[in-house]
């Protein structure tokens, strides 16, 4: 950990003011330390990306595609150690860490395919007025800053890094200080593949490093995934530069269960939406809206399932849910448990931190939660589910949409026409019907309202790193 920063094709020591301590959340113990990058090193990384940009953006689409496939193959070759690191540093159960790795591999492979198609996208534009011709060019935005969160490291960075490189951009990547280690694999892979120096730069650090990158005048774009509080700071910094941003922020998403559902199946969908990654997901469906006719039976079954859920250290036990990733998040969730007691909420399951080493909390269910409760309104980022009942389809839609967030939602109903109708009425960016939260690289990711700006994944993710240029010529 003496050279944790990858700048201009070299691994260098940190020269910043912060010592970053990396913890194993299942034990609550540190296992690595690294010095943050200084503001001067952020400058160096941006300068390296600027130097590399002219040659990289003119590299053939086929060559960029080959390098992206190389990233996919190299991630696969590192499968076991990367999975182990996700389990150790994030506290993810093995099956979740495996899906993370597979997601990152699929993302690089997908954008390799899109990169090969880029020449076909430079096309003639028919004009209604004779005597002129026009054509469209899709060009890379330029140098981009990528700031990624701690809940899905490796994955979120793949969602940003792969399309940026495919488009011909050069990048400066800042991982979270909570999980700074796994993104170093990208620098290692860049070395193995011979990626030109400066195309990819990685700087680690805390708020000072993030602020230096997000306010840097040498960037043409910034893409950020994280909290709304930090996202607003990133947006202000970019506004000073009149620079575009992609922001993937918070959520307080709803799962709507109609009374024609099979109870056991519905419980599985609900649990997956609130306990995956210990609920530390912007897409967590933490507001359960259940129709009156099924409510009593479903809540009783859900209570039993949550109370018997296997929670523990994924490195030593077969578990369904691991710990929270940081002590700060553990304290935050514990604070919401205290708020629930103050508000007099009815707790059917959990509602407490677990008396053991590490940062564990119980999967939790509160019922008949008032719409003015902090737990109903605010993003908790933990395995805390709040339930309310509804009678009609219109009530369900109104309650689901009554939120300052609009990231995702899930609809559960045996009547597919109704499910599709409700999905169309929900004010969110992604809806699942009768499903767990399966995310495919071909689909889009992003939200409405306070959940962010722009889209990732799919062709929309590539377009986020492209600038459209038209060339018009007089034929006379």
Average pLDDT on 14-41 reads 96
User: What is the predicted pLDDT for the residue at 476?
Assistant: 84
User: What is the predicted pLDDT for the residue at 63?
Assistant: 96
Residue 461 has pLDDT above 80, yes or no: yes
pLDDT band at 35 (very low <50, low <70, confident <90, very high): very high
Active-site residue 347, yes or no?
no
User: What is the predicted pLDDT for the residue at 217?
Assistant: 96
Please pick, among 116, 220, 248, 456, the residue that the annotation labels catalytic: 248
pTM of the model: 0.96
pLDDT band at 119 (very low <50, low <70, confident <90, very high): confident
User: What is the predicted pLDDT for the residue at 122?
Assistant: 81
User: What is the predicted pLDDT for the residue at 120?
Assistant: 75
Average pLDDT on 390-397 reads 98
**What rounded mean pLDDT belongs to the chain?**
97
Average pLDDT on 240-261 reads 96
- Report pLDDT digits (tens) over 228-240: 999 999 999 999 9
Residue 312 has pLDDT above 90, yes or no: yes
Give the Cα separation of 297 and 308 in Å (integer): 17
Average pLDDT on 309-337 reads 97
- Report pLDDT digits (tens) over 256-302: 999 999 999 999 999 999 999 999 999 999 999 999 999 999 999 99
Q: Domains in the chain, please, with CATH?
A: 5-249+451-474 (3.40.605.10), 254-440 (3.40.309.10)
Residue 303 has pLDDT above 90, yes or no: yes
Residue 1 has pLDDT above 80, yes or no: no
Residues contacting 169, CB < 8 A, separation 6+: 53, 56, 57, 140, 141, 142, 143, 144, 221, 465
| Count of residues in the chain | 476
Dihedral (C-alpha) 138, 44, 38, 9: value to the nearest 10 degrees? Answer: 80
- Report pLDDT digits (tens) over 406-423: 999 999 999 999 999 999
Please pick, among 183, 220, 261, 282, the residue that the annotation labels catalytic: 282
Nearest-Å Rg of the Cα atoms of the chain is 23
Average pLDDT on 359-365 reads 98
pLDDT band at 11 (very low <50, low <70, confident <90, very high): very high
Residues contacting 129, CB < 8 A, separation 6+: none
Give the Cα separation of 462 and 106 in Å (integer): 15
Tell me how crowded residue 438 is: count the other CB atoms within 10 A of its CB.
9
Do residues 148 and 156 make contact, with C-beta atoms less than 8 angstroms apart?
yes
User: What is the predicted pLDDT for the residue at 228?
Assistant: 96
CA angle 161, 164, 169 (to 5 degrees): 125
- Report pLDDT digits (tens) over 364-379: 999 999 999 999 999 9
User: What is the predicted pLDDT for the residue at 190?
Assistant: 98
Do residues 14 and 36 make contact, with C-beta atoms less than 8 angstroms apart?
yes
Active-site residue 474, yes or no?
no
């Amino acid at each position: 950990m003496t050279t944790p920063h990858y700048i201009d094709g070299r691994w260098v020591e940190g020269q910043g003011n912060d010592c970053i301590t990396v913890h194993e959340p299942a034990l609550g113990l540190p296992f690595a330390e690294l010095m943050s990058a200084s503001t001067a090193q952020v400058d160096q990384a941006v300068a390296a990306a600027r130097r590399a940009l002219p040659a990289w953006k003119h590299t053939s689409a086929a060559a960029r595609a080959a390098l992206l496939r190389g990233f996919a193959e190299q991630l696969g070759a590192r499968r076991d150690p990367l999975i182990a690191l996700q389990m150790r540093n994030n506290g993810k159960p093995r099956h979740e860490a495996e899906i993370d790795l597979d997601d990152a591999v699929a993302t690089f492979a997908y954008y390799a395919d899109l990169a090969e198609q880029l020449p076909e996208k430079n096309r003639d534009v028919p004009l209604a007025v004779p005597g002129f011709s026009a054509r469209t060019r899709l060009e890379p935005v330029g140098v981009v800053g990528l700031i990624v969160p701690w809940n899905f490291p490796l994955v979120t960075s793949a969602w940003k890094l792969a399309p940026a490189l495919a488009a011909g951009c050069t990048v400066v990547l800042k991982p979270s200080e909570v999980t700074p280690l796994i993104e170093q694999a990208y620098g290692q892979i860049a070395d193995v593949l011979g990626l030109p120096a400066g195309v990819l730069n990685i700087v680690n650090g805390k708020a000072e490093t993030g602020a230096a990158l997000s306010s840097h005048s040498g960037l043409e774009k910034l893409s950020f995934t994280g909290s709304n509080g930090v996202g607003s700071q990133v947006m202000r910094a970019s506004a000073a530069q009149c620079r575009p941003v992609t922001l993937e922020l918070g959520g307080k998403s709803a799962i709507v269960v109609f009374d024609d559902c099979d109870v056991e199946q519905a419980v599985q969908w609900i649990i997956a939406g609130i306990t995956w990654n210990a609920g530390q997901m912007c897409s967590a469906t933490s507001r359960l809206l259940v129709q009156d006719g099924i409510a009593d039976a479903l809540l009783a079954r859900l209570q039993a399932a949550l109370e018997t859920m296997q929670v523990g250290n994924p490195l030593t036990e077969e578990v369904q849910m691991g710990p929270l990733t940081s002590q700060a998040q553990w304290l935050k969730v514990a604070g919401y448990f205290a708020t629930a007691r103050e508000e007099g909420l009815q707790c059917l399951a959990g509602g407490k931190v677990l008396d053991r080493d590490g940062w564990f909390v119980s999967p939790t269910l509160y019922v008949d939660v008032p719409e003015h409760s902090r737990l109903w309104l605010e993003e908790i980022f933990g395995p805390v589910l709040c339930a309310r009942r509804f009678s009609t389809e219109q009530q369900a839609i109104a309650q689901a949409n009554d939120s300052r967030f609009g990231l995702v939602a899930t609809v559960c109903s045996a009547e597919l026409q109704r499910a599709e109708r409700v999905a169309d009425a929900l004010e969110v960016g992604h809806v699942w019907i009768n499903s767990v939260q399966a995310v495919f690289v071909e689909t889009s990711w992003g939200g409405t309202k306070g959940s962010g700006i722009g889209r990732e994944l799919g062709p929309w993710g590539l377009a986020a790193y492209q600038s459209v240029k038209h060339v018009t010529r007089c034929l006379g």
